[in-house]
Amino acid sequence: MSGDPEGFWQLLRYLPYHADTLLQLSEVYFHREEHSTAADFIDRALFTYERAFLGAFNFTSGQNRLDFDRVENRPFFLAIHRQITDLQRRGCVRTAFEFARLLYALDPWTDPHGALLHLDFLAIKAGMGHWLLKVWDLFARQGEKVYAGRLQVTALPGWAYARSLALHANEEANGEVHDASTKALREAILEFPSVVPLLADKADITLSPDVRGQKMFRIYVDSSSVSTEAESILHLLSHLYAQRSFSFWKAPARSSWFAQTVTSVISSVKSPSDHNASHALFTALFSKPALAYSVYRHAIVNESSCRRLFSFIPRSVTNTKHLACDPLPPPTRGSQGERKDVGTLASDPVFRGQLQAFFEAHPHFAQRFPGGILQFAQIAGQLPEDVLEDMMIAEAGIAEQEGRGVMPGQMPGQEMLFADFTDDEGEGDAVEDGPALPPIVVDENEDGEAEEEEEEVAPLPLRFLRTILNRFWGGAAAATGETSEDDDDDAPPHPRATQMGWTKNRKDV
């Protein structure tokens, strides 16, 4: 995330409906604890997508899907997820429940943002236990064959325990005995015993030493002691459920019921692992990278409350570079944005290498694009041509001034940062107030004087940037630089070009 949000505001002046920027500003104000302003930017991001949907797209039908592999769709998932988190913070539980259902309906088979991990808590909190039971029964009736390879609620530890709570609440409301709920709780304990000690500690439920000494009730605090990635995810989800739902179990009647059921399970079953069919299903599902990333992404988006659970996420994931507006892109994504500019950039290794060299030679410019070349290409395709050209040429001019000994007190880096996003009327004054630029025209009649005359040649980055613009917008940029390039064909290479390896004929670039 940028340390200076002013750049986001400048970008919104030109792109007021840029969802990524709106979400970034929302995150900035969230960290400032200005929650109302942060929520407003989330609403604006959601509106950005709503105004783009077709009339046939219906939120309430639950039949519309969005492909999470496409980078254009992912900000909408993130906006809904952050909306759910903010609604829970404000105590709007039922509204948060409905948004979580929407998030789940967009892609129910992989659930890329872990909406089900919210719903096991929100359904009980909002008094929608009957909905939770209907969803559970649907998956239980269809069986594993119908939903093979797809995320199933029967494989989630939080849903197993939430189901027993929903049945218990129904029995209390109808004045019935707790046979069905006790059976469901026993199944949950047998299938996911890792939840028991965590829930007992969080809800202050007393368990006997014999029960706490069972091997299956061992508490793991990180993934260093587990053998598989799926097992690490299981313990992460166990911690997550106990952290969110422990308050449901603190009531004396429910805590006593929980302790008695755990004791009866231990005394009646000698080898609980033999009865753990759901654990095998869990391992099979979360061995798939797409479903594992869904859990990791859920924890990353909820970093403020799930930070300590990052110890269960592999280092290969936590060390992956990603944008705050696109946390943990899916491993199944087809590309980093299937736009024309990005596709051209990736398919031309020579051009990509030259642009990489420009990034390395201009660190101030590269810092504004933490996503690297691909992020720059995405933004470049959306900015007006003159804005991008002025921005890049200004950076090249600053680098040239720094190389010619401009005093640090002039702070060229600050002046460069989105400096050309100001009104056009001020451009002339800005040029007059700055230091005089060196001449850039070479007398063609002088065929090779002393080496110092090479410094009079236009710096190669300026001409190279015109080529970059030509790559993005075809002949628009080429028309402006065609004459000057023809005049400079015989000019010797600039020393900086030799240093950076840009000695290739510009016509071949």
Determine the Cα–Cα distance for residues 310 and 308; give it in Å rounded to an integer. Answer: 5
Whether 354 shows a pLDDT value over 70: the answer reads no
Determine the Cα–Cα distance for residues 492 and 122; give it in Å rounded to an integer. Answer: 69
Same domain for 287 and 365?
no
Residue 227 inside a domain? The answer is yes
Paired residues of 267 in beta bridges: none
The more confident residue out of 180 and 407 is 180
Q: Is 111 left (phi over 0), alpha (psi -120 to 50) or beta?
A: left
> Quick check: 319 and 326 in contact, CB under 8 A?
no
Same domain for 292 and 403?
no
Segment (H or E) for 23: helix 19-31
Determine the Cα–Cα distance for residues 309 and 303; give it in Å rounded to an integer. Answer: 9
Concatenated DSSP letters for 119-185? HHHHHHHTT-HHHHHHHHHHHHHHHHHHTTTS--GGG-HHHHHHHHHHHHHHHHHHT--SHHHHHHH
- List phi, psi (to 5°) of 328: 50, 75
Q: Which domain holds residue 6?
A: 1-52
Task: Supply the pLDDT for residue 7.
Answer: 81
Q: Give the least confident one: 26-40, 175-189, 474-488.
A: 474-488
**Angle between helical axes of 129-146 and 115-125 (0-180°, round to 10):** 140
Same domain for 166 and 256?
yes
Half-sphere exposure of 475 (CA within 13 A, CB side): 1
Q: Tell me the pLDDT tens digit for each residue of 481-509.
A: 444 444 444 545 444 444 444 444 444 43
> Quick check: 153 and 189 in contact, CB under 8 A?
no
Same domain for 212 and 351?
no
- List phi, psi (to 5°) of 323: -85, 150
Residue 328 inside a domain? The answer is no
Same domain for 313 and 400?
no
Amino acid type, 198: L
- List phi, psi (to 5°) of 208: -65, 155
Q: Which of 29, 52, 75 is the last residue of a domain?
A: 52
For the ranges 54-68, 81-95, 273-287, the maximum mean pLDDT occurs at 81-95
Determine the Cα–Cα distance for residues 306 and 300; give it in Å rounded to an integer. Answer: 7
Site of tokens 């990034």: 359
Same domain for 390 and 352?
yes
Residue 246 inside a domain? The answer is yes
Supply angle C-alpha 164, 165, 170, rounded to 5: 100
Same domain for 229 and 364?
no
Task: Supply the pLDDT for residue 397.
Answer: 64
Task: Supply the pLDDT for residue 111.
Answer: 95
Site of tokens 């604006």: 44
Q: Which letter does DSSP use for residue 492 in this model?
A: P
Residue 68 inside a domain? The answer is no
Same domain for 228 and 298?
yes
User: Contacts by 273-277 with C-beta closer than 8 Å and gap 24+?
Assistant: 273/216, 275/190, 275/191, 276/190, 276/191, 277/191
Whether 114 shows a pLDDT value over 80: the answer reads yes
Determine the Cα–Cα distance for residues 504 and 509; give it in Å rounded to an integer. Answer: 7
Residue 499 inside a domain? The answer is yes
> Quick check: 116 and 282 in contact, CB under 8 A?
no
The more confident residue out of 259 and 277 is 259
For the ranges 195-209, 347-361, 374-388, the maximum mean pLDDT occurs at 195-209
Task: Supply the pLDDT for residue 310.
Answer: 93
Residue 82 inside a domain? The answer is no
The more confident residue out of 117 and 342 is 117
Residue 312 inside a domain? The answer is yes
Determine the Cα–Cα distance for residues 24 and 80; give it in Å rounded to an integer. Answer: 14
Same domain for 313 and 221?
yes
Determine the Cα–Cα distance for residues 410 and 340; give it in Å rounded to an integer. Answer: 39
Same domain for 299 and 360?
no
Same domain for 345 and 282?
no
For residue 300, what are the contacts with CB-CB under 8 A and spacing of at least 6? 306, 313, 327, 328
**How many structural domains are present in the chain?**
3
Concatenated DSSP letters for 403-450? HTT--GGG-HHHHHTTGGGS-GGGHHHHHHHSPPPPP----TTS-S--
User: Contacts by 499-503 with C-beta closer than 8 Å and gap 24+?
Assistant: 500/357, 500/361, 501/357, 502/354, 502/357, 502/460, 502/464
Q: Read off the pLDDT of each residue in 131-158 and give the average, rounded to a whole number.
A: 88
Determine the Cα–Cα distance for residues 15 and 382; give it in Å rounded to an integer. Answer: 8
Q: Tell me the pLDDT tens digit for each residue of 63-80.
A: 788 889 888 889 999 999
Q: Give the least confident one: 27-31, 195-199, 401-405.
A: 401-405
Q: What is the maximum span of the chain, computed from C-alpha positions, in angstroms?
A: 103
Q: Tell me the pLDDT tens digit for each residue of 372-429.
A: 666 676 666 666 666 666 777 776 666 555 544 444 444 444 444 444 444 544 444 4
Determine the Cα–Cα distance for residues 17 and 49; give it in Å rounded to an integer. Answer: 9
Q: What does the block give as tokens for 15? A: 């792109």
Q: How far apart, in Å, do the first and last CA atoms of the chain sit?
A: 33
Residue 191 inside a domain? The answer is yes
Supply angle C-alpha 308, 310, 312, rounded to 5: 110
Same domain for 176 and 252?
yes
481-486-492-493 Cα dihedral, nearest 10 degrees? 40
Determine the Cα–Cα distance for residues 100 and 244; give it in Å rounded to an integer. Answer: 15
> Quick check: 328 and 334 in contact, CB under 8 A?
no
Q: Read off the pLDDT of each residue in 91-107 and give the average, rounded to a whole number.
A: 95
